Structure 1
Amino acid sequence: MKKVSFRPILIATIAVVLCSSGLIGAQRANAAAQNVAAGKTPTSNAALINASLATDGASNNSNSFAEAGTGKKYIQIDFGGNYYLNKILLWHYYADSRTYKDVVVKLSESATFSSATTVFNNDVDNSSGQGAGSDAEYAETAAGKTITFNPVKARYLRIYSNGSNINTYNHYVEAQAWTIDNSYRANNVTFTNPEWVMTPQTDAFIQDVVNKMNAYKIKYQMIDVGFFDRDSETGQYDDINGQPIDGTMSWYAYDELENWVNKSRQYAPDMKLIGVVNGNKSLHVQGLPYTDKNNVLHTPAVSKATMQDNIAAHCAFLVNYYGLDGINLDFEPVSAGAASTDYRQLIQKVRTAIGPNKHLSIDGNPFAAYMPDNEIAQFGAMLDMIVMMDYDTADLNVPAYPANPSSTNATNYKLAIKENTKRISSALPASCAFIPLGPGDYGFTDVHKSYENAQNHSVAVNDAIMEGARVAGSGVWWFSASMNNATETQQFNDFWINGTP
């Protein structure tokens, strides 16, 4: 049997999330959320009694509190360094469900609060002089008050109050300041070169690749295992060689896949190994004739339903025979304005074939013209993950983003990625992980521009995170060149793995 092509189509764009380093004293990457107020001794503009009780971690005893005198007072907590925070938990005395007045919560990098961010304020008449607030007063309970907000960089927390409806005293049972969960920075994705599983590789080579993936904190190794109905030696579709285009793939195209999987598991036991299957959206997803760049027409030899059944069966074979952790479908997004129903039908068939407990993801174009919010929501309900392609966004013949879905320079590239990251995050259900996958080094220059790099992409996605976007990780497309590119590696390390948002 002849081999079929595993040469991927590099038309779309993949999105990653990176971030800035060099913020001395700021929270480092890969950390789960932590209460940075714990054990710190508060100060106050009052004679503070039993100060340590406000940060001792105990909130279950309303009679265990710090007291900050009467009238308009505050307590202040120094975390000892800058952190990115997105949640404050606060307990005043709560045994009698009293309501404390003029509660104002501020964060700052300065001990004098010369510049500060207010995250809660129920002082509606500005009687405490901290600005009029719009938050509602609340009755104290054993559950405390949870205040959430977009990430704020701060070293100091200041909490004001002005007595309660019971008396003029200010009591603090517990105050907690929670950092953002940065563990997603070690939840990254990359895509391999299909030739790595088409031809024999030495153990030393595989170990070198996997070690470099470990340095990139890769959790999901997307192993490219081929392109349906293409010849591996010529890159031509099967119908050119007299064989039908029917959604099949030659076994010989990944003779070394088993060895690659076994060695990857040996060198990185916790890494998820996902088989990436490629296809043509017209032929394999929509069941339509396709005219290639040489003006050659290719026509499916089977019905759309049969084509998708064959693809789903092959995905099940890959998962079951090679022991893969799941499948990634890289068929590129459907054309702008085209219905996504056919792709969802294919996804459902693959899900049924591989089973409910295996990973299933797709790659997509981040622009709304290709994947509008309603379709993202529908895809997300069916998938474990969507990887958005945040590169090859350039079209120099049209106006810059946001006038159209393209970018022409670093400024509007970063704007496009930031705004789409926020949009996609809002549209996706929480059950579906969102990976904005960033540009890597792969040599094409027609639409892949120099400003599409790890630094600019990470800045854009981190800006989106700071404005409330939810991402599950990042990564790089694709790995074979980026892993040996010192600039790309350093940018990914500095701006994502070791960075701060």
Structure 2
Amino acid sequence: MKKGSFRSILITTIAVALFATGLIGDQRASAAAAQNVAAGKTATSNATLVNASLLTDGVSNNSNSFTEAGTGKKYIQIDFGASYYLNKVLLWHYYADGRTYKDVVVKLSENAAFSSSTTVFNNDADNSSSQGAGTDAEYAESAAGKTITFNPVKARYLRIYSNGSYTNAYNHYVEAQAWTVDNSYRENNVTFTNPEWVMSPQTNTFIQDVITKMNTFKINYQMIDAGFFDRDNTTGQYDDVNGQPIDGSMSWYSYDELENWVNKSRQYAPDMKLIGVVNGNKSLHVQAVPYTDKNNVLHTPAVSKATMHDNIAAHCAFLVNYYGLDGINLDFEPVSPGTASTDYRQLITKVRTAIGANKHLSIDGNPFSDYMPDNEIAQFGALLDMIVMMDYDTADLSAPAYPANPSTTNATNYKLAIKENTIRISNALPATCAFIPLGPGIYTLTDYHKSYENAQNHSVAVNDAILAGARVAGSGVWWFNESMNNATETQQFTDYWINGTP
């Protein structure tokens, strides 16, 4: 990621990224697609309702099948029976002649008296209904109905006001629907494996245990660490230290057990996507410039940048084709602050061409704008299926805290940084690119990794970002080989992400 990155030492464990599923309202349940919680519910009103059941019977394609709610300023109200997180209301008044209804106000609340509530639509410009002056436009009714979308709101009750139409004084409702947030992203999870798992023999029992625990974390994408370009996995040294050229090649020792790991993973989790993760150094392999490591040893590429990228792309294609992987994840980490990302995008483009358009392609990145500003995130997103943001090792107690710098100093500061960057990245990425804000996990290196960087705080921050409108494809937790056996970490992830509020 940055400063003392674990990726510079391949013998350390590699990560976990996960998506998972969630809490629907106050009810703990597995993640679910959006549902209309108004369906079949009984409506009430401050008017005498005629044919009240037609309001929620699911029939919206017949304008003559409607509930009538008196004349003048009236409302209808629906009790869902429990609280849910909602982000969409659909409404059909009588629409056969395209009439326009007046003073339409849509409100949500957790109490039946609406003593506190959230207004999600209001076109009552002069406040004639005493619900506050609205700024939404009036609209002509149609068979498509009115779709009202908004950031998630927790509510048990829906109330809709109207004041007749410009045709007559009657209030007609063909159908009213209230849709929950689609929580299925909470089961679309990712994990990064320990590279040692494919470098040495593992028993079937061990592999099955790992996959079982991945299922507990609702893993859909298993990122299988396949090694580091131009580094000997037995020693952790760059090839040039051993007399070999830095040319975009990879130690074959990485693959001693890869085929067995892939085959067993397919056996134990047939629907899980298996993605090969390749690691590199941004200076050597992306920009192809000399690199001085933390031991002050200089390493110089032996080939041009174009040749380096060609070699890496060809190797990615080999991994996908020979081992039957579902795609590639490039973990070269973000370029340094202020450095153009053009070289990285050139490499990504070559890898895409090499592995094919139908294979998964993702990268990992640093969530702070100093490393990945909005304009570059948008450009990366246009080339990728997924971007995984490494929301860990943010601590720097010697520097001013976020937002003054891309560093954190305590739990409150960390949650603010993750929330705000999750919103920022969501807004910058195109909808075609999945966004994974990836949480921390149990990790033995503690120079920048602090105890407040945990599954609970990360999940709370991402949940808060989602409530503010952020679009994420899931979440996760790094350091899977330690997290999967840690009861606290597992419980935090389950409680605050899988069963957490959206």
Which residue number corresponds to residue 59 of structure 2? Answer: 58
Change (3 A) 1:469 1:16: farther
Which residue number corresponds to residue 355 of structure 2? Answer: 354
Which residue number corresponds to residue 477 of structure 2? Answer: 476
Partner SS state of residue 414, structure 2: helix
Tell me, yes or no, if structure 1 residue 410 matches structure 2 residue 433: no
Q: Which runs of 5+ in 1 are unaligned?
A: none
What is the identity, as a one-letter code, of the residue corresponding to 1:393?
Answer: T
Which residue number corresponds to residue 427 of structure 1? Answer: 428
Q: Distance in 2 between matches of 1:292 and 1:173?
A: 69
Change (3 A) 1:413 1:17: farther
Per the TM alignment, residue 11 of structure 1 is displaced from its structure 2 partner at its CA by: 12
Tell whether the 8 Å contact from 1:228 to 1:248 is kept in structure 2 after alignment. Answer: yes
Which residue number corresponds to residue 393 of structure 1? Answer: 394
Change (3 A) 1:13 1:197: closer
* 1:318-337 matched pairs, under 5 angstroms: 318-337=319-338
Per the TM alignment, residue 26 of structure 1 is displaced from its structure 2 partner at its CA by: 4.2
Which residue number corresponds to residue 8 of structure 1? Answer: 10
Partner SS state of residue 106, structure 2: strand
- 1:302-356 Cα shifts (integer Å, max 9, x gaps): 1111111111111111000000000000011111110101100110111111111
Which residue number corresponds to residue 363 of structure 1? Answer: 364
Q: Distance in 2 between matches of 1:250 and 1:189?
A: 25
Which residue number corresponds to residue 101 of structure 1? Answer: 102
Partner SS state of residue 177, structure 1: strand
Which residue number corresponds to residue 146 of structure 1? Answer: 147
- 1:43-76 Cα shifts (integer Å, max 9, x gaps): 1111111100000000111111011111111110
Change (3 A) 1:433 1:20: closer
Tell whether the 8 Å contact from 2:10 to 2:236 is kept in structure 1 after alignment. Answer: no
Q: Distance in 2 between matches of 1:441 and 1:142?
A: 54
Percentage of identical aligned residues: 83
What is the identity, as a one-letter code, of the residue corresponding to 1:399?
Answer: P
Tell whether the 8 Å contact from 2:317 to 2:351 is kept in structure 1 after alignment. Answer: yes
Q: Distance in 1 between matches of 2:470 and 2:336?
A: 26
- 1:18-48 Cα shifts (integer Å, max 9, x gaps): 8986x97347441000110001010111111
Tell whether the 8 Å contact from 1:33 to 1:182 is kept in structure 2 after alignment. Answer: yes
- 1:120-141 Cα shifts (integer Å, max 9, x gaps): 0111111111111111111111
Q: Distance in 2 between matches of 1:355 and 1:143?
A: 39
* 1:47-446 matched pairs, under 5 angstroms: 47-446=48-447
Change (3 A) 1:85 1:327: same
| TM-score, normalisation: structure 1 | 0.96
Tell whether the 8 Å contact from 2:20 to 2:218 is kept in structure 1 after alignment. Answer: no
Per the TM alignment, residue 250 of structure 1 is displaced from its structure 2 partner at its CA by: 2.2
- 1:436-487 Cα shifts (integer Å, max 9, x gaps): 1100112111000111000100111111100110000111112111100111
- 1:334-388 Cα shifts (integer Å, max 9, x gaps): 1111010110011011111111110000000000110011100110000000000
Q: Distance in 1 between matches of 2:115 and 2:453?
A: 38
Q: Distance in 2 between matches of 1:315 and 1:458?
A: 32
Tell whether the 8 Å contact from 1:197 to 1:255 is kept in structure 2 after alignment. Answer: yes
What is the identity, as a one-letter code, of the residue corresponding to 1:415?
Answer: L
Change (3 A) 1:496 1:37: same
Per the TM alignment, residue 8 of structure 1 is displaced from its structure 2 partner at its CA by: 3.5
Per the TM alignment, residue 397 of structure 1 is displaced from its structure 2 partner at its CA by: 1.2
Change (3 A) 1:250 1:314: same
Change (3 A) 1:407 1:335: same
Partner SS state of residue 186, structure 1: coil
Tell whether the 8 Å contact from 2:22 to 2:28 is kept in structure 1 after alignment. Answer: no
* 1:22-41 matched pairs, under 5 angstroms: 25-26=26-27, 28-41=29-42
Tell whether the 8 Å contact from 1:248 to 1:310 is kept in structure 2 after alignment. Answer: yes
Which residue number corresponds to residue 465 of structure 1? Answer: 466
Q: Distance in 2 between matches of 1:331 and 1:449?
A: 23
Q: Which moved more, 1:399-408 or 1:268-277?
A: 399-408
Tell whether the 8 Å contact from 2:20 to 2:188 is kept in structure 1 after alignment. Answer: no
Tell whether the 8 Å contact from 1:15 to 1:438 is kept in structure 2 after alignment. Answer: yes
Tell whether the 8 Å contact from 1:286 to 1:304 is kept in structure 2 after alignment. Answer: yes
Q: Distance in 2 between matches of 1:490 and 1:171?
A: 49
Q: Distance in 1 between matches of 2:176 and 2:82?
A: 17
Q: Structure with the greater relative contact order (CA < 8 A, sep ≥ 6): 1 or 2?
A: 1
Q: Distance in 1 between matches of 2:14 and 2:233?
A: 21
Q: Distance in 1 between matches of 2:374 and 2:25?
A: 38
Which residue number corresponds to residue 3 of structure 2? Answer: none
Change (3 A) 1:194 1:19: same
Tell whether the 8 Å contact from 1:390 to 1:417 is kept in structure 2 after alignment. Answer: yes
Q: Distance in 1 between matches of 2:147 and 2:13?
A: 46
Q: Distance in 2 between matches of 1:197 and 1:14?
A: 15
Tell whether the 8 Å contact from 1:14 to 1:364 is kept in structure 2 after alignment. Answer: no
- 1:151-209 Cα shifts (integer Å, max 9, x gaps): 00000000011111111111100000011110000001110000000000000000000
Change (3 A) 1:118 1:15: farther
